[in-house]
Amino acid sequence: MTKEEILEQSRKENNDKDIFDFEVQKIAARTAFYSSFGLCALVSILSWIFAKRVSAQCWMIFFGMLTITFFVKYFKLKKLHELFVALGYLAIFCMLTLVFIMQLTGRL
């Protein structure tokens, strides 16, 4: 096989999608996840230092993001594990949403 034939076969197998592009997207998603976790932790620490309480809204958004991520993974991969993780994150998201609403209304 010539170099051109190998490249053509590779393009057909990958549906003209660039493997390097997939890897960059994967690294970017992982970096965004860890960065958002770090930012939530920083906001929580600063909130605790200055207000003596931790606000639920940044964690609510973080777990909402994780919930959506794992639901998308479940629907694309059809792996039951992804569904269970998504449901766990959904439960945490709902709990944090309730805490956030209670904080807004002054009940907590």
Which residue matches tokens 């919930």?
67
pLDDT of residue 16: 60
**Exposed/middle/buried for residue 33 (C-beta within 10 Å: 0-12, 13-18, 19+):** middle
Q: What is the pLDDT of residue 99?
A: 94
**Comparing 22-26, 41-45, 89-93, 102-106, which segment has the lowest mean pLDDT?**
22-26
Percent of the chain past pLDDT 90, that is, above it, reads 68
**Residue pLDDT, tens place only, 78-99:** 999 999 999 999 999 999 999 9
Q: What is the pTM of this model?
A: 0.77
**Helices 57-77, 80-105: inter-axial angle, 10-degree rounding:** 160
Cα(96)–Cα(90) distance, integer angstroms = 10
Residue 15: band (very low, low, confident or very high) from pLDDT cuts 50, 70, 90:
low
For residues 6 and 31, is the Cβ–Cβ distance under 8 A?
no
Q: Which residue has the higher pLDDT, 20 or 68?
A: 68
Measure CA 106 to chain center.
Answer: 30
